Amino acid sequence: MTVMTYREALNQVLHTEMARAPDIFVCGEDISGGAGGTSGEREASGGIFGVTAGLLPRFGADRVIDTPISENTIVGMAAGASLAGKRGIAEIMFADFITLALDQMMNQAAKFRYMSGGKATCPLVIRVPYGAGMNMGAQHSQSMYNIVTSVPGLKTVIPTNAADAKGLLTTAIRDDDPVVFFEHKAMYGRKYEVPDGEYLIPFGQASLLCEGDDATIIAMGRMVLFAQKSVAVLKEEGIDCDLIDLRTTSPMDEDTILDSVEKTGRVIVVDECTPRCSLASDIAGFIASHGFSSLKAPVGQVTSPHAPVPFARELERAFVPNPVSIAAAVRKVVSYQ
């Protein structure tokens, strides 16, 4: 084990995988930075969140491609190259901007395999920093993973700690399908123990972070961290929870969800998305359809409200689900008669 940040874990995987496989390339805006600058420093940033640091000096500009601001072509180019024998890792600087690339993601990359009758492979990874909490306003703070999860042909990964970031990114890069990889911006600097050496986590395998018989909390991304805090508080009140970190929302670990629901009968889904067509509503629907006989209470959903992410500190704080709102939702479900 080595202690490192979420950012460092991701960076290490990119280095290791690019060294292992020469058909991997990365592309995105400012992933190195400094091109065309006047200082002569060819690597000026290593990505605005530093995740791609050091790749350019090591692997060169042919495989570490700083791009113009052209999201649709960043994804499309990576998809095209991946269709033609390479493995592209595209970075979209903020998840909000996948909207500019949705044609290439949804209509192209996601559908090649199917439309070719199983002949095409498009081993593409699209990395997207997402999420609220940094006062970046309505166009730089959205979660977006609900949209991606809904698309047949795309896989959706949302790691919540550095070890999972390592295991899941390695799997994503080696996977033969298009994968969209969500990294919460507030998590980059957090430190965790990370297994040394090669480490892969299969998709569709949730992690059960703690166990309890009273309620099931299902969460993904940064919401897992908040749920962990709620769990600690609830434990002191005598409420013991299963906490399920989904890790990948497509594919989704249905068995782990249903096993827990069968045990507790009381469920809360915590999701940073806005409520309509969210993962919370999707999972609540899944449980209602497949675990109905186990349920002792309506499935609780903790989400952001049906509004854009506000800028002002106080509003943004109130906007995102937090340990207090999660704990309140758990109490409500647990006390339901």
Q: Which residues of 274-283 are buried (b: 16+ CB within 10 A; e: fewer)?
A: beeebbbbbb
Least distance CB 95 / ligand TPP (angstroms): 11
Instruction: Say whether residue 71 binds ligand TPP (CB under 6 A).
Output: yes
Instruction: Say whether residue 134 binds ligand TPP (CB under 6 A).
Output: no
| Backbone Cα Rg of the chain | 20
Catalytic residue positions, numbered: 140
Instruction: Say whether residue 69 binds ligand TPP (CB under 6 A).
Output: yes
Which of the choices another protein, ligand TPP, none does residue 318 contact, using the CB cut-off of 5 to 8 A by kind? another protein
Stretch that binds ligand TPP, among 93-101, 187-195, 228-236, 240-248 (CB under 6 A): 93-101
CA distances from 324 to 133, 177, 302, 327 (A): 16, 38, 11, 5
CB nearer to another protein: pick between 153 and 310: 310
Structural tokens at position 180: 């969209």
Least distance CB 21 / another protein (angstroms): 27
Least distance CB 73 / another protein (angstroms): 7
Amino acid identity, residue 204?
Answer: G
Which of the choices another protein, ligand TPP, none does residue 166 contact, using the CB cut-off of 5 to 8 A by kind? none
Q: Whole-angstrom Cα distance, residue 79 to residue 87?
A: 9
Instruction: Say whether residue 175 binds ligand TPP (CB under 6 A).
Output: no
CB nearer to another protein: pick between 48 and 208: 48
Exactly one of 97, 130, 199, 226 binds ligand TPP (CB under 6 A); which one?
97
- Positions in 26-55 near ligand TPP (CB under 6 A): 29
Task: For 146-245, list the strands marked E by DSSP.
Answer: 155-157, 179-184, 191-194, 207-210, 215-219, 241-245
Which of the choices another protein, ligand TPP, none does residue 73 contact, using the CB cut-off of 5 to 8 A by kind? another protein
Place of tokens 């299902």: 218
Which of the choices ligand TPP, another protein, none does residue 289 contact, using the CB cut-off of 5 to 8 A by kind? none
Structural tokens at position 67: 């791009």
Task: For the chain, list the strands marked E by DSSP.
Answer: 2-5, 24-28, 64-66, 87-91, 125-130, 155-157, 179-184, 191-194, 207-210, 215-219, 241-245, 248-250, 267-270, 300-302
CB nearer to another protein: pick between 2 and 107: 107
Q: Closest Cα partner for 304 from 142, 162, 154?
A: 142
Exactly one of 24, 55, 93, 187 binds ligand TPP (CB under 6 A); which one?
93
Instruction: Say whether residue 66 binds ligand TPP (CB under 6 A).
Output: no
Which of the choices ligand TPP, another protein, none does residue 66 contact, using the CB cut-off of 5 to 8 A by kind? another protein
Stretch that binds ligand TPP, among 92-100, 244-252, 266-274, 319-327 (CB under 6 A): 92-100
Place of tokens 């899944």: 286
Which residues 6+ apart lie within 8 Å of 91 measured at CB? 26, 27, 28, 29, 31, 47, 51, 52, 74, 126, 127, 128
**Interface with another protein (CB under 8 A):** 29-30, 33-41, 44-45, 48, 66-73, 96-97, 100, 134-140, 305-308, 310-315, 318-319
Phi-psi region at 43: left, alpha or beta (left = phi > 0; alpha = psi -120 to 50): beta
